[in-house]
Structure 1
Amino acid sequence: MNQSLMTEFKEDLKDFREMTEKFYAKEVSIKDYKGFSGGFGSYAQRGGEASMLRLRMPGGRITKEKLKFLVDAIAAYDVRRVHLTTCQTVQFHDLGMKAVCDIMEQAMEVGIITRGGGGDFPRNVMVSPLSGVEQGEYFDVLPYAERAGDYLMGMIKTVKLPRKLKVGFSNSPANVTHATFRDLGFMAKENGLFDVYSAGGLGNNYKMGVKVAENVKPEEVLYYVEAMVRTFTTYGNYESRAKSRTRYMQETLGVEGYKKAYQEKLLEVKAKFKDSLLIKSSVSAEQESNTEESVVNIKEQESQLKNVAAYPQTESASERVITQKQAGLYAVAYHPVGGMVPAQKFEEIYEGIKNAAKAEVRVAPDETLYIINLNAQQAEKIHKITADGAKNLFETSVSCIGSTVCQIGLRDSQGLLASIVEAVEPYHFADGVLPRIHISGCPSSCGTHQIGKLGFRGASKSVNEKAEPAFAFYVNGQDTQGEERFGEEWGVMLATDIPKFFVELGTVISEEKVSYEQWYKKNMDTLKNIAEPYLQK
């Protein structure tokens, strides 16, 4: 990142510390503090007695240096609650006044920026978590995403957006970053180019993105980022906060009108910036260098690999060691239940990889950690270290932090997931009988409930004239490119009934000895019949 910009960000931290001290002295209201602190990536938690801090990890990438910082900060400030987010960031929770200010300042020394982690700013640029190492990927999109992220960070001081802007890059049709329905998304193609989508998003008034360009050269992505920003600042709604997201431009301009407006801005950008926004060929050189180095490493490992079992890549959730496209190298998946990482786990992982030359950690949009670029022995070691994670597909379910922590959260999404896991555990359902589910505590969709096979969104239901905790129920969401669809809302379930629903569902599917995926294709009506008694009238 530009060093002069980093200097400006550092100078801003004095204002954050001053305002935070006033907030904890009860001189500033929660509402006023939220409007200020969000731009620094921090919010007061529910009750106003503690803070959370969102540590941006561009592309979800945590280098060993950044990982060591997390380890040291957790130890120094006794951080006990850490959550992985669906925007590929790491959130520290339950921080006091000194801790939140100190960690924010110290993080910058290792290149971790919290600025823009909240508020009306560009958010963390998302990337397929195994980009660069994944078998079958079209190409490594991470270097281009990192350039885009730096470019957007440069706008924080100069451009006033109507609302937050989310950008994603996908290396394959798996589309785990939801690039086809982000504010701006770049979908890699087999021909080495990108298709570009815009004005999509989850949450209220969710929309699929509009394809605004095809066959875009990767080195030109910054022109498309700048065009998006200019379209948003020109046509975005600055008057109504509720409608200040790019997807509302599909309503005001129409789909074709939006596409036309975007392409006009793109021409304007190309005319103004000429060749100055082209990403230099150093990106390709980096990719070639990484490949060459991996070949050298493989030769050094050949004798080790003869005595260590290699782990094949599989589709089973319980098989966590993944064969990379670099021969002889592996990635290990670790999904802490609910995305809640035991604080000491970062130190254990760091100790396990600190001597592995190219090892690093990636945060995935589904709250999984991937530890990549490991040889067979290192993979075996990390596999043991992370054995406390999800034991099956269902336990890899996605959940936001929930209302016990979040100011705007309506329901306890973490509590719901924990109660379901506890309810189904005695039945020992086979892996895959219950699908991965997605839980959001409110309509903001931080748990991406709208794209889950089964999804839940915090709601309220009156029972005997008393408001009871409940969740809206969504069915059959999908994010794979070409098959994208948002889940259909079927009704509302009481939070106390949902664990019983999953016990019944798992029991029915187990009797047929198939996975949920296989079962649902032939049994949508049966699912409706199972759900019906739990849906509130």
Structure 2
Amino acid sequence: MIGIAPQEWKTDLPEFCEKTRDFYAGKMDKGSYKGFSGRYGSYAQKGGAASMLRLRMTAGCVSKEKLAFIAKAIRAYQVNMVHFTTCESVQFHNLDEKSVCELMEQALDAGIVTMGGGGDFPRNVMCSPLSGVEEGEYFDVMPWAKAAGEYLMTFINAEKMPRKLKVCFSNSPANVTHATYRDLGFAACPDGTFEVYSAGGLGNNPQFGVKVAEGVAPEKILYYIKAMWLTFRAYGNYENRGKARTRYMQEALGGAENYRKAYQEKLQEVLASGEQLDLSREEVMAAAGMKEKQGKTGDGSSASGERVLEQKQPGLYTVIWHPIGGQPRPETLASLGELMQSIDGTELRLAPDETAYIINLTGAEAEKILEATKETAQTKFETSVSCIGASICQVGARDSQALLQACVKAVGEAQIPDGALPQIHISGCPSSCGTHQTGPMGFRGGVRMADGKAQPAFVFYLGGNEVQGKETMGRELGTMFESEIPSFLVKLGKEIAARGLDFESYRTQYPDGIEKAAAEYLA
């Protein structure tokens, strides 16, 4: 296996602590500090009075050992805000200068790396959260995602990297990690190989990825990662930060077919170089702890309910937990982490829609987890996705979390039945951290003029789809005042419920119904 041991990053920490002291002492400006601290997975929050720390959870896996660290940190440092991100990592918020430095070092001792969590570096590798336990998956891609994550850490100090490099793995056409439109995506096929997609991404200039390879053996994936870096070095616009993302290469090279040829040329260079990047299946499975995970069996107890999934392993279950906005109460998360220490073979898996899954449970264990995670979304609409928002993020335009809370409150008070409204996606700015562009309904932070003044508003998107083979960007329909969005959703929910339909059925039977309901709110 090719990687870097977490403890090896400790040599970088003194410089971070020195610069962080300078920032809080007023000796370093916000922009300079942001450019420096992102490499360490930390940013100053809006206002500059507190810090956040992003804990990388490769492939969205939070082991019992990592949960034990999180629980201990929450209690020892009185962490009052935690966020599950859409890149399957965990963020601590509202940290002071001393806490962020100490937690960064203590995380390394627990096997949790923060390096490269921000800035121009490979981001947290994402993976279908139920990989390995999901009925109907093509194959378990989790071990390969973890191996890719280890390898990508060796690029932290590489030159000429894109502004972000997001790599993900998908175990089925559900495509929950958006493998077909990330910087580099590996989509599982029924025959145990991967299709590889490259140069995709949301945000400004959104692009679906280019399929650059198919029939790729999992043991060969590192060659494709190396080729991605070389392609960007050769053709990426790393001098213009606004265009320093892989998706801009499609246009720069004159289209998808030219990009595919350019990538293939770099791939052939890697294959011909003699560098040995083949993975050993045995080593990959061992490193992923597959033997231990596959050894657990049911004990005859059972569990059922809307938040319980039967795994493909007989007698084992998964519990679904979705804190609204991806923000669990720290006390609840700490207590869950402590409870899970006594359960063999379990772990927490994070999803791109901010859902957490606790896997490999007997029926009796599932009942205990259900009780520990009672504070959870109760409807499809309540599982809606939001980035951290402008109250925390320096670049955010609007407070997406506040909008989500207002919408959940209004829809709940109106008693809109479950299913009448979909999972909506909210981003505070054009970066699309809330994936508003491919949700069935999306909102992106902005402004709208009223009486000559700029007022808080969100651009409304309709009709996005993330499913492989059906990928669609939502249509931008106009801008709504932030204050009126809850009213719009209540009106739409009542209209759909009055017809006895769910959201998808309504869209099918009344193709222009949502646009008509939105018309009076849009400009």
TM-score by length of 2: 0.97
Q: Paired residues, what number?
A: 522
Stretches of 4+ aligned residues off by more than 3 angstroms: 1-8, 283-296
* CA distance in 2: counterparts of 1:496 and 1:13, whole angstroms: 44
The question of whether the paired residues in 2 share the 8 Å contact of 1:433 and 1:516 is answered with: yes
Matched, 1:321 2:308: yes
CA-CA distance at 1:310 after TM superposition: 3.3
**Aligned-residue offset at 1:273:** 3.2
Show the counterpart of 1:346. Answer: 333
Contact 1:127–1:170, Cα closer than 8 Å, also in 2: yes
SS across alignment from 2:180: helix
Shift of 1:8: 4.4
* 2:494 pairs with 1:507: yes
Inter-CA distance 199–17: structure 2 relative to 1 (3 Å threshold) = same
CA distance in structure 1 between the aligned counterparts of 2:396 and 2:505, rounded to whole angstroms: 34
* Amino acid in structure 1 at the alignment position of 2:216: V
Aligned to 2:345: 358
More displaced 10-residue stretch of structure 1: 475-484 or 513-522: 513-522
Cα distance, 1:361 vs structure 2 = 0.4
Q: CA 1:225/1:293 → structure 2, altered by over 3 Å: closer, same or farther?
A: closer
1:41 corresponds to which residue? 41
Query: Equivalent residue for 1:473?
Result: 460
Corresponding residue of 2:376: 389
Whether the aligned pair in 1 keeps the contact of 2:160 and 2:238 (CA below 8 Å) is no
Q: Secondary structure at the match of 2:165?
A: coil
Contact map agreement 2:54 2:91 (CA 8 A) in 1: yes
Secondary structure at the aligned position of 2:422 is classed as coil
2:516 corresponds to which letter in structure 1? N
Q: Please tell me whether the aligned partners of residues 173 and 468 of structure 2 are also in contact (alpha carbons under 8 angstroms).
A: yes
- Report the secondary structure of 1:341's partner residue: coil
| SS at 2:309 equivalent | strand
Does structure 2 conserve the Cα–Cα contact (< 8 Å) formed by 1:54 and 1:89? yes
State the match for 2:141 in structure 1. Answer: 141
| 1:475-494 deviation digits (Å, cap 9, x = unpaired) | 01010101101100000000
SS in structure 1 at match of 2:297: helix
Residue matched to 2:28: 28
Q: In the alignment, is residue 456 of structure 1 matched against residue 456 of structure 2?
A: no
| Aligned twin of 1:483 | 470
Amino acid at match of 1:266: L
**Which residue does the alignment assign to 2:51?**
51
Give the match's secondary structure for 1:450.
coil
Please state whether the residue corresponding to 1:332 is helix, strand or coil.
Answer: strand
Q: Post-superposition shift, 1:286?
A: 4.4
Structure 1 residues 118 and 393, CA gap change in structure 2 (3 angstroms): same
Shift of 1:350: 2.0
CA contact (8 A) 1:50 1:95 kept: yes
State the distance in 1 between where 2:392 and 2:378 align.
26
State the partner residue of 2:12. 12
Q: Deviations over 1:299-326 (max 9, x none)?
A: xx13xx2xxx4327xxxxxx11111111
CA change 1:108–1:2 in 2 (3 A) is farther
Aligned twin of 1:111: 111
Deviation, 1:377, is 0.3
Q: Which runs of 5+ in 2 are unaligned?
A: none
Asked whether the equivalents of residues 291 and 326 of structure 1 are also in contact (C-alpha less than 8 Å), the reply is no
Matched, 1:259 2:260: yes
Alignment of 1:296-445 (within 5 A): 297-298=297-298, 301-302=299-300, 305=301, 309-311=302-304, 319-445=306-432
Secondary structure of 1:222's partner? helix
* Residue number in structure 2 paired with 1:496: 483
Amino acid aligned to 2:367: E
Contact 2:6–2:109 (CA<8 Å) still a contact in 1? no
- Within 2, Cα distance between the matches of 1:159 and 1:123? 15
Match in the other structure for 2:272: 271
Change (3 A) 1:386 1:464: same
Shift in CA distance, 251/4, structure 1 to aligned 2, threshold 3 Å: closer
| Cα deviation code 1:247-271 (max 9, x no counterpart) | 0000011211110010011111011
Q: Is the 8 A contact 1:352 1:378 kept in 2?
A: no
**How far off is 1:295 after superposition?**
5.8
1:217-256, aligned counterparts within 5 Å?
Answer: 217-253=217-253, 254-256=255-257
Q: Work out whether residues 59 and 88 of structure 2, in 8 Å CA contact, stay in contact via their aligned partners in 1.
A: yes
2:93 corresponds in structure 1 to: 93
In 2, Cα distance between equivalents of 1:247 and 1:421: 34
**1:3 positional shift:** 7.9
Match of 1:315 in 2: none
Structure 1 residues 7 and 263, CA, compared in 2 at 3 Å: closer, same or farther?
same
- Paired with 1:32 and 1:80, the residues of 2 have a C-alpha distance of 27
> Superposition RMSD on alpha carbons, in Å?
1.7
User: What is the CA distance between 1:291 and its match in structure 2?
Assistant: 6.8
Does structure 1 conserve the Cα–Cα contact (< 8 Å) formed by 2:66 and 2:112? yes
Q: Report the Cα offset of residue 292 of structure 1.
A: 8.4
**Aligned-partner residue type, residue 311 of structure 1:** S
The one-letter amino acid paired with 2:428 is G
Alpha-carbon distance between aligned partners in 1 of 2:2 and 2:332, rounded to the nearest angstrom: 33
Note the C-alpha offset of 1:347.
2.1
Deviations 1:459-517 (A, max 9, x none): 11110101100000000101010110110000000001101001100110111111111
**Equivalent pair of 1:5/1:154 in contact (CA under 8 Å):** no
Amino acid at match of 1:280: S
The more displaced of 408-417 and 155-164 is 155-164
Give the distance between the partners of 2:147 and 2:162, measured in 1 at CA.
Answer: 23
Give the partner amino acid of 2:24: Y
Query: 1:259-300 CA distances to partner (integer Å, 9 max, x unpaired)?
Result: 0010011111011135x21110215754998478646633xx
Output one character per residue of 1:106-143: Cα deviation in whole Å (capped at 9) or x when no partner. Answer: 00011111100000000000000011111111111111
Per the alignment, do residues 11 and 286 of structure 1 end up closer, same or farther by CA in structure 2, a change over 3 Å counting? closer
Give me the whole-angstrom Cα distance separating, in 2, the residues matched to 1:250 and 1:182.
Answer: 13
- How far, CA to CA, are the matches of 2:73 and 2:289 in structure 1? 33
Kept in 2, the 8 Å contact 1:420–1:498? The answer is yes
Contact persistence 1:295–1:326 (CA under 8 A):
no
SS of equivalent to 2:35 = helix
Greater Cα offset, 361-370 or 232-241: 232-241
Rounded Cα–Cα distance in structure 2 between residues aligned with 1:124 and 1:155: 13
Question: Structure 1 174/3 Cα, relative in aligned 2: closer, same or farther at 3 Å?
Answer: closer
CA distance in 2: counterparts of 1:467 and 1:435, whole angstroms: 29
Question: Which runs of structure 2 are paired with 1:193-212 in the superposition (5 Å)?
Answer: 193-212=193-212
Tell me, in whole angstroms, the C-alpha distance in 1 between the residues paired with 2:95 and 2:115. Answer: 17
The one-letter amino acid of 2:134's match is E
Q: Percent of counterpart pairs with the same letter?
A: 54
CA contact 1:236–1:246 (8 Å) conserved in 2: yes
Paired with 2:333 and 2:289, the residues of 1 have a C-alpha distance of 28
Q: 1:3 to 1:345 in 2, by over 3 A?
A: same
The separation in 2 between residues aligned to 1:293 and 1:435, in whole angstroms, is: 34
Structure 1 residues 4 and 401, CA gap change in structure 2 (3 angstroms) = closer
Secondary structure, in 3 states, of the residue corresponding to 2:49?
Answer: coil
TM-score (norm 1): 0.95
Secondary structure of the 1:66 match is helix
